[in-house]
Amino acid sequence: MFLEGFDRTLFLLDAFEIELSIEMNRNIEQAMKPIQMKARGFMPGVVPDAIKNWSRPPTGALPGHRGANVYRSFPIFDSAEMKSGIQYRPGLQKQTSRGFTRAYAVTNESAAGAIFETAGRKHPGGIPSKSRSGVRGEDGKFYPNPGAGERFINALPPISRAGRPVGSKGRSKKNANGRAIFRAWNEDQGRVLGAVMKAIEKATIGYNSKHTILRIPA
């Protein structure tokens, strides 16, 4: 979630009322945390039967290196790691062509979790036929496995498709579709955005009550 159009608000709070800024960030975190917890609940506890090999280290893995060999291995299913990999990252600021934005994000920091989240988002039927799907054997040879991508995607829950974001115009973006974080966001974004705006409003009122010159537009 990006806050845009609040450049003056964020600047003045950070510059002159750091305690109000900290309180605002804490209130935004309280609004965003349920998204994190709900998304963790959408992560599967066990690997689906149809793709149970996802939880096994690839053939040829070196001892003590879970899936690490001379080839880049496919991230292994690990429910605990996938759940704990969903993290809240507060208040990261960056500059855009329209000014500064501040991001309050729930991120997926597990490779396997990211695969669960987005597999099939770009190619619902699996990777294109021009790509090679298969496994690398102990002998170093590549063994094709046509249709593996499609079978993998079909074994996962459906992707939650985003509607048009609250208060925005135009079409929703495909990169807002997913099975965990984006599903939680798609279901609860209206409530979360309402709580975030309330936190900003509270900080604005607190700031303006102390300042008569450099005021934040209400």
Give the pLDDT confidence of 181-214 residue by residue, as tens digits. Answer: 999 999 999 899 999 999 999 999 999 998 877 7
- Stretches where the chain sits below pLDDT 70 are 1-5, 58-73, 94-100, 127-144, 163-174, 218
Q: Where in the chain are the domains?
A: 2-208
- Indicate the burial class of 155 (C-beta count within 10 angstroms; 0-12, 13-18, 19 or more): middle
Give the pLDDT confidence of 149-178 residue by residue, as tens digits. Answer: 888 999 999 999 876 655 555 455 667 899
* Amino acid in the structure at residue 113: G
Q: CA-to-CA distance for 57 and 68, rounded, in angstroms?
A: 9
Asked if residues 10 and 102 have their Cβ atoms less than 8 Å apart, the reply is yes
